[in-house]
Structure formats: structure tokens, C-alpha cells
Amino acid sequence: MTILADEIYLVRYKVRDQVEVYDVTTYHLQRRLTVPVARSFTDMISCEHNRCVYIGNGGKLKCVHRLDVQGAVTRWAVNDSPRGLSVNAAHNVLVTCLGVRKIKEFRSHGDLLRELILPDDVINPRHAIQTRSGQFIVCHGYLGDPVHGVCMISADGRHIVHSHGGQRGSDTDQYDVPVHLAVDDNEFVFVADSGNRRVTFLSPTLEYVRQVVSHDQLKGAPWSLYLDTRQRLRYVAVNESGTGSVAVYSV
């Protein structure tokens, strides 16, 4: 889920994926938008500067759909399976590609600017966010992988600067498939820890601070995060055994 122009954009997995649009204050459904020939949506992010929403498609298309506020839809190829999406300070789209350990940076209409191959220790990256200093925060790890964690990677993509996590587990310094990130204005990091059903809060240097959403507060696995810094709200999209919901918390 994401927010654009005081509306919440939400994807539910169905036979044909659609985007549902809700009022940000009342949470009332406003309309449904169909993205043609789309399947297997993986993530979604908005860009206020370009007045559009980007949606990753991890199926056969391996593309990103661009949906503007007027409803026009275009798409461009990623050529690897996209998982996580984010927008950096230059208003470009960062696409995290799961199996090939890459971050690809595109302009708003799909011009490829660069691609970074991540260090060997970063296996199955799922989401990446670029900080104001140019470094990348990346969450990674899936089921049988040796390391499940969050790391800060240098701006050239070559070196791990800081990290948090290790062997898969449930202790405060462990994760069980961390799937999504959010970074606040002070560069503190929120991590959706899917297998442990919690959201972890880390310092700008990835030191553990606390759990901000516990296992007991969620009915299912957290799947994505969105921070509304203006309203000081944190949205957690939750997967509940094939269905889904969005939990909203004060920051």
C-alpha cells in the first residue's frame, strides 16, 4: 500500500489484481482501478513529485507499472523479477531484484540509469531504500538462507557498512524473512519481520532500539510498511492466510 494526494492505494491479491483507492481520512473506498494484463503484484510506492504510483509485477512480465493520478497506466521492463520498490531523493525508482542480488535505478518513465550488484553476503534482497547520504538500507534473507537481516550498503553497492541480524531466529537481534522497510525523516529504520510477525525499530546505524509492533498486535504476517510523516501514522499491510488487512499506528 501507499498514499498519494490524500488517497490510499491498496492492492489485494485476486484472480486479476486491482488497485483499490480509499480516502485517507475516512478509509472509505473511492474507486477500483484495473491495471491491464497485470499479475503477481509485488510492491507499490508513490511519488508526489511525479504524481504517480509505481507497482512491481513479478510474473512473466517482470515489469513496473506506472499509474498516474488521472488513471493513465504505462509499464516498462525490468528484465529481472522485481520485489521491493522505493523512490529516492532524485525522484527515481529503485527496484530490488530478488534472485540476482541487484538494485536497479530507473527514471519515472523507465529509463535505466544504473544497476548495482550487491555483496555476496546479501542473499535474496527483498527491499532497498536509499538514504540522503546515498547509502542503501537493504533487508534480505529467505527461509533456508544463512543470514536474515538488514544492512547498510555503500553508495557504490560494494561494501556493507553496518548490519543487524544473523542466523534466522526470533531473538531481538534476529529475523525470520524480513520483507519490507520504511525510513523516517531522522533515518531511523522500521523493519517488517514477516516470520516473527513484528515490526522492529533500528537506529540510523542499524542498532536495535525496540519492537514497535509486536507479535500479539498483528493477526498475520506484516508484508509492507508505509510512513505518513505528515499525519505521523505508520501503516502495516498484513497477510492473513490468503486475506489481508492494514493496521494503522501512531508514530
Which tens digit of pLDDT belongs to each residue from 84-133? 999 999 999 999 998 899 999 999 999 999 999 999 999 999 999 999 99
Q: Read off the amino acid at residue 30.
A: Q
More confident residue, 7 or 14: 7
Question: How high is the pLDDT of residue 232?
Answer: 87
* Claim: this prediction has a pTM higher than 0.75: yes
Could you tell me if 152 and 186 are in contact, meaning their C-beta atoms sit under 8 angstroms apart?
Answer: no
Sheet architecture: strand order including 189-193: 178-183, 189-193, 198-202, 208-213
Average pLDDT over residues 210-223: 91
Residue 245 binned pLDDT confidence (cut-offs 50, 70, 90): confident
> How far apart, in whole angstroms, are the C-alpha atoms of residue 142 and residue 124?
7
Average pLDDT over residues 199-203: 97
- The pLDDT of residue 5 is above 60: yes
Note the pLDDT of residue 241.
64
Query: Which residues make Cβ contacts (< 8 Å) with residue 154, sequence separation at least 6?
Result: 135, 160, 161
Residue partners of 145: CB distance under 8 A and separation at least 6: 123, 124, 168
The 10s digit of each residue's pLDDT in 17-45 is 688 999 999 999 999 888 877 678 899 99
What pLDDT score was predicted for residue 70? 81
Q: What percent of the chain has pLDDT over 90?
A: 77
Q: Are 4 and 10 in contact (CB under 8 A)?
A: no
Q: Which domains, from first to last, does the chain contain? A: 118-251 (2.120.10.30)
| pLDDT, position 59 | 80
C-alpha torsion angle, residues 58, 127, 184, 207 (rounded to 10): 160
Note the pLDDT of residue 14.
Answer: 62
Any idea which of 30-34, 181-185, 241-245 has the lowest mean pLDDT? 241-245
For residue 165, pLDDT over 90 is answered with yes
The rounded distance, in Å, linking the Cα atoms of 60 and 173 is 36
Question: If 0-12 CB within 10 Å is exposed, 13-18 middle and 19+ buried, where does residue 69 land?
Answer: middle
**CB-based contacts of 91: which residues, under 8 Å, 6+ apart?**
47, 49, 50, 108
Nearest to 81 by CA among 57, 103, 105, 101: 57
pLDDT at 250 over 90: no
What gap in Å lies between CA 70 and CA 126, rounded to an integer?
30
For the beta carbon of residue 154, count every other beta carbon within 10 angstroms. 15
The pLDDT assigned to 11 comes to 85
What pLDDT does residue 12 have? 75
The per-residue pLDDT for 120 is 92
Q: What average pLDDT does range 1-22 have in this prediction?
A: 84
Whole-angstrom distance, CA of residue 11 vs CA of residue 119: 32
